[in-house]
Amino acid sequence: MVSLPLTLMGARGRTSRSILAGAGVALVALGTAVAWVEMGRAGELRRSRAARNRQLVGLGTRMGSAWARHRARRLFASAERRDELDLEFQLTTAEQVTEELGHMKGAMMKIGQMASYLDTGLPDHVRAALSQLQQDAPPMAPDLVDEMIRSELGAVPADLFDQWDPVPLASASIGQVHRAVTREGQAVAVKVQYPGVAEAIAADLGNADLIFGALSSMFPGLDTDAVIVELRERLTEELDYDIEAENQRGFAARFRGHPVIHVPEVIGDYCTARVLTTELVVGTRFEEVVETWSAAERNLAAETLYRFAFGSIYRLQAFNGDPHPGNYLFHGDGRVSFLDFGLVKRFTDAETDQFGRLIETMVLEHDPAAFREIIEGLALLDPGLDASDDEVVAYFRHFYEFVLHKGVTTISPEYAAEGVKKIFDTSGPHAQIQKAANVPPSFVVLQRINLGLISLFADLGATADWRAIAEELWPFVHRAPVSDIGHRIEHWRQQSDLVPEPQGL
């Protein structure tokens, strides 16, 4: 099991369209929990570990019973009727899973969100049902919102704001967002944390030892204790909106006036540890971009996502670690607003230097021995592994494939799906390396690139000269701009008060 933050990978294979894909929706959600117990959020919900486990067991039992009934109905049906029954079962199953995970919130809802855009064969109609969890999950009751606002800000929304929309703009896994207008006349987005979220997260992570124990049996090289510690630390930070506000202020200051990257300003007078208020942003959602925008516009959007994610790692020594579709709003011509800064991983100089050395030895110098020495030093791979340097590079080179070569490349669904197989499918020729690989703490949150961001690029059909753009961002190359966006950024940088670098971001 491995994570490499310096290239791209993900999952969006359109492989099997069989009934097994539809029947396995619940298993996809639960299986993702085994692979990635990362975040959790809650509303008016069951908070104890036992109660939440009972919810999952109940869901699994209902899905199993429904599958048995479906198989019986299918047994004597014609081929045409079987197709109809299969479609009906897939839709019903997906809707039931979506509803249950949406009400649970917590880590389980995050799993459903990930399943909606991280798949290797779910039918489109099943993904569409799960995608409701990205922004349109079941909301809190209005009286709960009023009580949370009153307890945090001293008055109910109607008394605090000139205008308040009780219908949430978005309902996600840690809280929900409402439109409002301040007494000063500013349109704002108010994020209100679900009551009981901390308890729900604690309950969901109560199974972490068991879950990661199962993972360690599959991947003996994985240091599960270190992974669990890192996840708990990041989760604790994400629950504190004061920390998120500070993160967002930092990113907003860095990108204020930027030609394609926009981070909403924080409105501090309306913020606490459980309420976060920012300027309101209106834009196009990711699914509409995928479905209706031209290839040229999609490519510009993808380039901005790429520059933000990877440029932040190299230039700001930080990564905003929740790259799911609901956290972006698109405005055309490459302009993107970035939302949700609750999970930000920061890196030391030594860590980013090592990230750079990985790129240099794999991409620029083609030095297998040096590359292996670095990944062993980073605890990504057991030094005692009985494999040649060339075998190690043959496994890892997939994650660098689209920047290994100069010229225009498309990040395809097939490429993205292959990346997930490289992590989890140990039936291939590199099983020995996969089982010996590790995810050290500095790489844990960066798995969201591997298990998220690149899935979005695949959906967009992202096409560009990624090597050239990467060389703009890599501080050890510092290439001049090659794309229109790159030239716009360079012009802005020269006209602003920024010091000569960072470039390309």
What are 122's two structure tokens? 């779910």
Count Cβ atoms below 10 Å from residue 172 Cβ, excluding itself: 28
- Residues 292, 417, 403: CA angle, nearest 5 degrees: 85
**Interstrand relation of 335-338 and 328-332 (parallel, antiparallel or unpaired):** antiparallel
- Phi, psi values for residue 159, rounded to 5°: -90, -20
**With contact defined as beta carbons under 8 Å apart, do 88 and 129 qualify?**
no
CA 75, 80, 83, 87 dihedral sign is negative
- Residues 206, 211, 212: CA angle, nearest 5 degrees: 110
Q: Where are the alpha helices (DSSP H) in 321-453?
A: 349-359, 368-377, 389-396, 401-404, 413-424, 431-436, 441-444, 447-448
**Interstrand relation of 275-279 and 187-193 (parallel, antiparallel or unpaired):** antiparallel
Q: How far apart are CA 439 and CA 447, in angstroms?
A: 9
**Interstrand relation of 344-346 and 275-279 (parallel, antiparallel or unpaired):** unpaired
Q: How far apart are CA 298 and CA 411, in angstroms?
A: 12
User: What single DSSP character describes residue 430?
Assistant: T
- 10 Å CB burial of residue 143 (0-12, 13-18, 19+) is exposed
Active-site amino acid positions: 322
Residue in this structure with the two tokens 């019973």, named with its chain if needed: 65
- Residues 86, 90, 93: CA angle, nearest 5 degrees: 135
Cα-based distances in Å from 209 to 97, 122, 202: 25, 29, 12
Q: What SS3 string covers 33-61? A: HHHCCCCCCCCCCCCCHHHHHHHHHHHHH
